[in-house]
Amino acid sequence: MASRSATIASGHGLHARPAALFVQAVNDSGLSITIEKEGREAPAGSILGVISLAINQGDVVTLTADGDNVDSVLDSLVSFLETDHDAE
């Protein structure tokens, strides 16, 4: 298992558009990834799971996964989370 932490940059956190883009990126990776905030976990490939964590700007989340290319996938997802997608 590999894990990475990320600080959420999007101004509105992982809600609506940024959450949908994140979930799509997770599902495109083909890996089973978990996202955790303050001890609460959810499948990162589930829009309802991600939104249920109420992840806001500045929150720190941890992504955990296992599988092929896990390091590059997690690095890419961390980069995504640490980019402000509300400003685009």
66 neighbors 40 (Cβ within 8 angstroms): no
The topology (CATH level 3) of 2-87 is Histidine-containing Protein; Chain: A; (3.30.1340)
**Domain range summary for the chain, segments of one domain joined by +:** 2-87
User: d(Cα 43, Cα 76) in Å, to the nearest integer?
Assistant: 17
Q: What is the pLDDT along the chain (88 residues), one digit of tens a residue?
A: 999 999 999 989 998 889 999 999 999 999 999 999 999 999 999 999 999 999 999 999 999 999 889 999 999 999 999 999 877 5
Alpha helices per DSSP H over 1-88: 16-29, 47-52, 70-81
Q: Which residues are catalytic?
A: 15
Helix axes 70-81, 16-29, angle to 10 degrees: 170
